[in-house]
Amino acid sequence: MTTKLKIDGTTYDVTVDEETPLLWVLREYLNLTGTKYGCGVAQCGACTVLLDGKAVRSCATNLKEIGDKEIMTIANKTDPLLKKVQEAWVEEDVPQCGYCQSGQIMNATGLLKANHNPSEKEIVAGMNGNICRCGTYNRIKNAIKKINAGA
């Protein structure tokens, strides 16, 4: 069946089984490969996108759960907060292999949308679902602390 998806300001019609996780619709039907597959079971956060501003694991979110919610991915070019997070990531020299960083950045963006000035404790609690095997966590903490999300 055909589903309408609003992704980063564009509306797409996709014809796909509505049980399919959003991750695979993004990656293979729309070739939006910035959103990554890491575990398939919502354990690592590599696939994180925002649904109406809230971070979700796209590997465990079926198409039918989305309805008319707006999807924001790492490829979004207009969201000012996402841009700030990306700039902070470059400034703090966060990415190493970089594979998990799409998910880290989207999760951090979701965190900052809900809480403009998170404490270290809130950062750790908010980011604990995102795994980075390169261990860039220290840089991630620094980057999030530097972002002025309210401005």
Partner 1 sequence: MELSRRTFLKNTALVTSAFIVGFYLPVKANAAEDTKETNTLKPNAFIQIDADNTITFFMGQAEMGQGTYTALAMCIADELDAHWEAVHFKASGIDPVYNSVFGPWMLTAGSTSISTKQLEMRQVGAAVNLMLKKAAAARWNTDLSNIKTHNAELMNLKTGDKFTYGDLVADIKTMSIPQDPELKALKDCSLIGKPTRRHPSEAWAKVTGQAEYGVDVRMENLKYAAVLHPAVFGAKIVSFDASKALKRNGIIKIKQIPNGISVIAEHWFQAKEALNYIDVVWDKGEFAKISTKDIRKEYDALLHTPGASMRRDGDTAKAFKEAHSIISADYEFPFLAHAPMEPLNCTVHHTGDSAKMWTGGQVQTVYQKVCADILGLKPEAVEYNNTFLGGGFGRRAAANADYINDAVYTAKDEAWPIMTLWTREDDIRMGNYRPMYKNKARVALNKHGDITAFEAKVVGQPVVKDTILGFLFKDGVDWAQWDGLTDHPYSIANHDMQAHSPSSPIPVLWWRSVGHTQTAPLVEGIVDEAAYKAGVDPIAYRISMLEDLRCIKLLEDVAKISDWKNRKKEKNIGYGVALVKSFGSIVAQVAKVKVSKNDFKVLKVWCSVDCGFAINPLNIENQMISGINFGLAPTKYSEITIKNGEAEQNNFYDYLVTRISDAPDIQVSIVNSGDKIGGIGETAVPPIFPAVANAIFDATGKRYHSLPIKIS
Residue ranges that bind partner 1, judged by CB under 8 A:
17, 20-21, 24, 28-29, 31-41, 43-44, 46, 73-75, 86, 89-91, 93-102, 105, 123-125, 127-128, 130-141
Q: Which is nearer to partner 1, 28 or 52 (CB)?
A: 28
Q: Which is nearer to partner 1, 64 or 133 (CB)?
A: 133
Beta bridge partners, 15, equal: 2
Q: Which is nearer to partner 1, 54 or 133 (CB)?
A: 133
Q: For the chain, how many residues are written?
A: 151
Nearest distance in Å: CB 54, partner 1: 19
Nearest distance in Å: CB 92, partner 1: 9
**What are the CA-CA distances from residue 60 to residues 110, 115, 132 (Å)?**
17, 24, 19
Q: Which is nearer to partner 1, 105 or 112 (CB)?
A: 105
Q: Which residues of 15-36 are buried (b: 16+ CB within 10 A; e: fewer)?
A: ebeeebbbbbbbbeebebebbb
| Lookup result for tokens 């903490």 | 141
**What are the CA-CA distances from residue 131 to residues 74, 86, 92 (Å)?**
17, 18, 18
Nearest distance in Å: CB 69, partner 1: 20
Nearest distance in Å: CB 17, partner 1: 6
